[in-house]
C-alpha cells in the first residue's frame, strides 16, 4: 500500500511540476519585457552612477532627471514591482539598510552587462531584439512550419535587409545590436585564439562589414595584412584602418586571395547550398597546402534535454530559432552538420576549438 501511495504522490508531483513548467514558459516573455524596461529607463546606469546600492526613490528621482526616457512623474509602485521580478531573476541585487530599513537595489554580474557606457555592453542588443520590429516575426513560427517561407517577410512584407535599407531607424537599432555583440565576440577571439594567427601573413574577413573585427586583429598582430571584404555599398562607409584594405565584392562570386579566410556569424545566415558556394570560393582564395578558413559561429549541442549542458547551450538553440525568425534561410548547426557542410565545400579536415563564449572557433583545411 505504501508503494502505491508513494507512486501516486510521485505522479502528482510530476504532474504539478509539469503545470508549473508550462506557466513559466507561457510567461517567459515577461522576464524579457521587464529586462527591456530596465534598459530603456537606464536603471543599471542609474545605480552604477551612485557607486552603491540605492533606494527606489533614488531611482525614480534619476528617471526624472537623467533617464534616456525622462518622466516628470514616474510610478514608484510600478517600478517596485518590475524590480521585484528582476531581483528574482538575479538581474539586480537587493538588501535592507540596517538603520532605515529601506530596500536598496544594486548591480549584479548580469546587470553589469547592461551598462551603456561599458566597453562591453549587451544593452543595444536587448533594445534591438525586444523591439516590436524584431519580436513580430516570432509570431509566425507556426506559419513557417505550415507553409515555409521567411518569418520576417511574413511580418513586415520584406526581408530584413530590404527592411533595413528602407527604414533608417530600424537600420540604426539593428546595427547597434550587431556592433555591441561583435565587440564582445572579437574580444573573446583575441584573448582565446592568439596562437591561431601564428604564421598567417594575410587574412581576408568575408562579410566583415565596416572592418571592426579585422581591424582589431591587425592591431593585435601588426605583421598581418588585413582585407575587409563586403558588398561595395558596405565597405564604402568603412573608416580607414591602418593595415587594412577595404575591398568591395560578392562572396558568392569571388573572394580576395589571402593566407586565411575568417568569417564571423556569416554561415548561420545562409542555407547549406549557399554555404557550400561560399566555402568553395574560400577554397579558391587560400593556398592549397597552408591555407585555412577560420569560422566563428555556433556549434549546437546534441539533440535532447541536458540539464548539465554548456553555459551557452540553451542560447545557441534559441539562436537557431532566431535564424528562422530573422534570416532568409539560415540556421545554426551541430558538429555533424558542420562536418558535412565543410566536406561538401572542399574542406575535409577541421577542428573545433571551444572558447568561453557563445561562439566556437572552427578551423577548416583544404587538405
pLDDT in tens, 205-249: 999 988 989 999 999 999 999 999 998 888 888 899 999 999 999
Structure letter (DSSP) for residue 301: P
pLDDT in tens, 161-213: 899 889 989 988 988 888 888 889 889 999 999 899 999 999 999 999 889 89
pLDDT in tens, 269-319: 999 999 999 999 999 999 998 999 999 999 998 876 665 568 899 999 999
The span from the CA of 250 to the CA of 237, in Å, is 16
The pLDDT of residue 6 is 77
Q: Which of 113, 138, 163 lies at the terminal end of a domain, its last residue?
A: 113
Q: Of the residues 156, 246, 268, 326, which is catalytic? A: 268
Q: Which of 78, 113, 148 lies at the terminal end of a domain, its last residue?
A: 113
How many structural domains compose the chain? Answer: 2
Same domain (yes/no): 194, 323: yes
List the one residue out of 128, 234, 130, 121 whose CA is nearest residue 174.
128
Alpha-carbon Rg for the chain, nearest whole angstrom, is 24
Same domain (yes/no): 96, 135: no
Q: Are 228 and 208 in contact (CB under 8 A)?
A: yes
The pLDDT of residue 133 is 97
- In DSSP notation, 129-156 reads HTSHHHHGGGGGHHHHHHH-S-HHHHHH
Q: Which of 61, 84, 113 lies at the terminal end of a domain, its last residue?
A: 113
Which residues span the domain enclosing 57? 1-113
Same domain (yes/no): 70, 16: yes
Same domain (yes/no): 78, 140: no
Active site residue 25: no
pTM: 0.87
Amino acid at each position: 500500500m505504501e508503494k502505491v501511495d508513494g507512486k501516486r504522490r510521485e505522479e502528482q508531483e510530476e504532474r504539478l511540476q509539469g503545470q508549473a513548467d508550462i506557466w513559466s514558459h507561457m510567461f517567459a516573455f515577461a522576464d524579457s519585457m521587464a529586462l527591456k524596461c530596465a534598459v530603456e529607463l537606464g536603471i543599471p546606469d542609474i545605480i552604477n552612477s551612485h557607486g552603491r546600492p540605492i533606494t527606489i526613490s533614488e531611482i525614480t528621482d534619476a528617471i526624472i532627471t537623467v533617464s534616456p526616457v525622462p518622466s516628470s512623474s514616474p510610478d514608484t509602485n510600478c517600478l517596485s514591482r518590475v524590480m521585484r521580478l528582476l531581483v528574482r531573476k538575479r538581474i539586480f541585487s537587493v538588501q535592507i539598510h540596517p538603520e532605515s530599513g529601506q530596500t536598496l537595489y544594486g548591480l549584479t554580474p548580469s546587470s553589469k552587462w547592461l551598462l551603456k557606457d561599458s566597453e562591453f555592453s549587451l544593452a543595444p542588443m536587448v533594445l534591438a531584439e525586444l523591439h516590436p520590429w524584431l519580436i513580430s516575426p516570432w509570431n509566425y513560427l507556426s506559419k513557417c512550419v505550415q507553409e515555409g517561407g521567411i518569418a520576417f517577410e511574413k511580418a513586415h512584407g520584406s526581408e530584413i535587409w530590404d527592411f533595413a535599407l528602407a527604414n533608417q531607424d530600424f537600420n540604426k537599432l539593428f546595427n547597434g545590436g550587431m556592433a555591441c555583440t561583435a565587440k564582445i565576440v572579437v574580444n573573446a577571439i583575441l584573448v582565446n585564439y592568439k596562437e591561431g594567427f601564428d604564421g598567417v601573413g594575410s587574412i581576408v574577413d568575408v562579410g566583415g562589414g565596416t572592418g571592426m573585427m579585422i581591424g582589431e586583429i591587425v592591431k593585435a598582430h601588426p605583421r598581418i595584412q588585413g582585407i575587409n571584404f563586403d558588398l561595395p555599398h558596405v565597405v564604402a562607409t568603412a573608416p580607414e584602418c591602418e593595415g587594412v584594405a577595404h575591398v568591395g565584392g560578392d562572396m558568392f562570386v569571388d573572394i580576395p586571395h589571402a593566407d586565411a579566410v575568417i568569417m564571423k556569424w556569416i554561415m548561420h545566415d545562409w542555407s547549406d547550398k549557399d554555404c557550400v558556394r561560399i566555402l568553395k570560393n574560400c577554397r579558391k582564395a587560400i593556398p592549397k597546402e597552408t591555407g585555412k578558413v577560420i569560422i566563428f559561429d555556433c556549434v549546437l549541442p546534441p539533440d535532447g534535454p541536458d540539464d548539465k549542458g554548456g553555459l551557452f547551450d540553451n542560447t545557441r538553440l534559441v539562436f537557431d530559432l532566431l535564424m528562422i525568425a530573422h534570416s532568409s534561410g539560415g540556421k545554426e548547426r551541430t558538429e555533424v552538420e558542420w562536418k558535412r557542410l565543410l566536406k561538401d565545400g572542399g574542406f575535409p579536415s577541421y577542428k573545433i576549438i571551444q572558447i568561453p563564449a557563445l561562439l566556437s572557433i572552427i578551423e577548416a583545411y583544404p587538405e
